[in-house]
Structure 1
Amino acid sequence: MARILIIDDDEPFRVHLGTLLRNAGHVVLEVECALNALDKIALDPFDLLITDIFMPRMDGFELLSALLRHHPRIRVIAMSGGGMTMSPNLALSVAKKLGATELISKPFQPGDVLRAVDHALASLT
């Protein structure tokens, strides 16, 4: 069982992903933006973050940069369906360079997420 923080501005998607991970036995907290995520991380330890890349106010790239500076050991799964100006593959490639442990393209199957979570958590040991 891991403590996982999900960051995504798409509420139905965020709730669905949270349910999937809770059903797999994890403790999950969901937030709608990267700024709220940084507040939560400052107060509580998490084993893993799962973040969208393209969000308002602060995107996943900015979040990854902040994590690299202040929480370099935290594991992050970056996910993206692409943005207005960037393909999902390019967005995820940039996320990897900024420290994402695992990458997932949207849309994806539940098994893709569970495998990425298992792989990211295995790298903690």
Structure 2
Amino acid sequence: MLRALLQEAGHEVVEAGDGQAAIEHLRRTAYDLLVTDVLLPQADGTEVIKAVRGVNGKISIIAISGGGRELPAVVALALTEALGAHRTLFKPFRDAELLAAVKELLPVASS
């Protein structure tokens, strides 16, 4: 859903199937923006944020979470903020909220 929304808004999107795959992508290629859920298989969103901060300190980060049985969303998102997430969104969020955060964080393309 997020991929389709961002592509429809004109953004180039690379999607990873799990946290470890995201870390591998982020180590190979420099991206302008990372949108990550906190609860991911293989490596959670906090691990992804820590890994990307080690290789790309300039990347903007949006963390999203609806929480889980053992980790409420407010705690999960506070952790991501402590690790350097620029924006956090509680699930469910509106499309407009995500698009506004992306617009705010992405560098303006030169014309």
Same fold (TM over 0.5): yes
Question: After superposition, where does 1:41-120 map in structure 2 within 5 Å?
Answer: 41-120=26-105
Normalised by the length of structure 1, the TM-score is: 0.80
AA in 1 matched with 2:60? R
Deviations 1:37-67 (A, max 9, x none): 1221222221101000011221011111112
Aligned-pair CA distance for 1:98:
0.4
Gaps of 5+ in 2: none
AA in 2 matched with 1:57? Q
- Structure with more strand by fraction: 1
Normalised by the length of structure 2, the TM-score is: 0.89
Q: Does 1:33 align with 2:23?
A: no
Q: Percent identity?
A: 35
- What residue in structure 2 maps to residue 9 of structure 1? none
Question: After superposition, where does 1:7-18 map in structure 2 within 5 Å?
Answer: 16-18=1-3
Distance 1:68 1:18 in 2: 23
Task: Name segments (4+ residues, structure 1) moved above 4 Å.
Answer: none
3-state DSSP class of the match of 1:62? helix
AA in 1 matched with 2:4? T
Distance 1:42 1:68 in 2: 10
3-state DSSP class of the match of 2:106? helix
AA in 2 matched with 1:49? L
